[in-house]
Amino acid sequence: MNTLTLVTGAHAEVLNRKALPIALPFSDTLCSLLDEMVEKMRKEKGIGLAAPQVGISQRMCVIELDGVVSKYINPEITSRSQEKIFFEEGCLSLPGEFFPIERHEEITLKYWNEKGLPKRIRARGLLAIVLQHEIDHLDGILICKRYQRQKSKEGKIYGRIVE
């Protein structure tokens, strides 16, 4: 049974705190927690979910795009493209609110999979956008804060997503 509960609201402490890295080796409990996060993300109709959104201040997130589920432990962006794109972003932690957010079109990401193996991927477009949104969650940055910080407030919108 899924016992995870969504934390909502711009001022929730766990959503504004930097989450802690997860130590190797990864436990079975961690793997089942990731599975529960996937279930929760589907139930709430999001395409991404980071652990702080269910009240767990640890650096991990799950994403489902085009029917493909991916799980990221201790993700870290190692390079970012100059090119940026705008998406209208919504967040399961801020129901009903949308912000035009500008992000890098392409990133390189280092992370660990649930088997404890280090991975490196190049992500572009939608996957790159969702990863940047989830990693912001791990750093305690909600889209309302990201929007306040960004210099350009609007641009051509490529799509609308909730994560």
Supply 103's token pair. Answer: 């992000």
> Which residue is nearest to Zn ion, using beta carbons?
91
What strand order describes the sheet that includes 157-162? 94-104, 84-91, 157-162
| 8 in Cβ contact with 94 (< 8 Å) | yes
By CB under 5 A, tell whether 33 contacts Zn ion: no
CB of 93 to Zn ion, least distance (A): 5
Nearest to Zn ion of 73, 142 (CB atom):
142
Looking at the Cβ atoms of 91 and 101, the one nearer to Zn ion is 91
What is the closest distance, in whole angstroms, from the C-beta atom of residue 49 to Zn ion in the complex?
8
**Distance in Å, CB of 118 to Zn ion, minimum:** 25
Among 19, 51, 91, 161, binds Zn ion (CB under 5 A): 91
Q: How far is CA 104 from CA 38, 47, 62, 79, 132, in A?
A: 25, 18, 20, 10, 8
Active-site residue among 105, 134, 154, 163?
134
Q: Could you tell me how many residues of this chain bind Zn ion (CB under 5 A)?
A: 2
134 has catalytic annotation: yes
Beta carbons within 10 angstroms of residue 103's beta carbon: 21
Size of the chain in residues: 163
Per-residue binder mask for Zn ion (CB under 5 A), 46-85, x = binder: ----------------------------------------
Binding of Zn ion by 34 (CB under 5 A): no
The set of catalytic residues is 134
Interface ranges with Zn ion (CB under 5 A)? 91, 163
